[in-house]
Amino acid sequence: SVFTRAFSQANHTVPSFYSILRGRYPIHMSRKAILYRISEKSLLLPKIPKGEENHVLGVSNTFKDDPSPSLAETLEKNGYATLAYPNDRYSNYLSEVIGARKGFEINFTNDPKDKSKKATRFNDVKMTDMGIEAIHKYKDKPFFLWLHYYDHHSFEKRDTGKHWGHNSSVDLYDSGIYRVDEQIGRLVEALKKEGLYEKVLIAFTADHGCTFMLHKEMHGTDISQDQVHVPLIIKIPGAPKGKVLD
């Protein structure tokens, strides 16, 4: 089913994923600060304690110590293998420090060769490879697999075999979306190959939208439709196919 009026609970990654992974509103986040960037300035509630300014990477809130169980924790307790392969190459927004990995039995927060505990070191294609390997490995037991596609967020020029204009930010973003579509197609084919496609629940969504500088930032400035209106597609085993819900 396709939901045409789906909205994220925040205009930035961390508070939005708090809602996705915990099922709670961002206002319930348990730690000290929520930072929203506004043009060249920052609006911070509450103020960062003195001496911690250098630790702010754009968003300084965290839900690592939140007492509410995450989706991954709940599924793990019920016998599911829980696997996280989020591509978060340019930030620590989905790191262990933030709390996004809590409850995942297997996650690739860090490259095993990287001792600095920075963000992941693989692109969307490699992440899909890892996801397909997980599908083959865990095909005979219940599993929860989280893949977070990020390459299109960086607006890098890529050879996708498609030409989208004159390399504006929108063109590069469209190219990135095309590449994501290809990778999701690979995952679907892997599920079909293992005879799992009709048995699994698949949810496809995003943590926020993008303004393409209409509000002097890409996102994180306000709750306008272009920043919080997100795609939401859910495939439920046995449910009618092709529904569009407004």
How is 28-86 classified by DSSP, letter by letter?
A: G--SS-EEEEETTEEEEESPPPTT-GGG-SS-----TT--SPPHHHHHHHTT-EEEEEE
For the whole model, what pTM was predicted? 0.78
* Alpha carbons 235 and 3: distance in angstroms, whole number: 11
Report how far residue 153's alpha carbon sits from residue 57's, in angstroms, rounded to the nearest whole number.
Answer: 16
Residues 99, 153, 109, 23, Cα dihedral to 10° = 30
* First-last CA distance in the chain: 10
* Rounded (5°) CA angle 217-221-224: 105
Cβ(104)–Cβ(82) below 8 Å = yes
**Of 160, 165, 173, 161, the residue nearest 211 (C-alpha):** 173
H/E stretch holding 235: strand 232-235
Give residue 192's Cα distance to chain centre: 24
In sequence order, what are the residues at sequence separation of 6 or more whose Cβ sits closer than 8 angstroms to the Cβ of residue 128?
147, 183, 186, 187
Residue 71 CA from chain centroid, whole number: 14
User: For every one of its 246 residues, what pLDDT tens digit does the chain have, with 9 covering 90 and above?
Assistant: 999 999 998 888 888 888 999 998 888 776 554 443 333 334 344 454 455 444 444 444 667 778 889 999 999 999 999 998 876 654 556 766 667 778 888 776 544 444 444 444 567 888 899 899 999 999 999 999 999 887 776 655 555 555 555 567 777 777 778 888 999 999 999 999 999 999 999 999 998 887 775 666 556 666 778 888 999 999 999 999 889 998
The pLDDT value recorded for residue 160 is 53
Q: Note the pLDDT of residue 54.
A: 47
- 141 Cβ partners below 8 Å, 6+ apart? 79, 80, 81
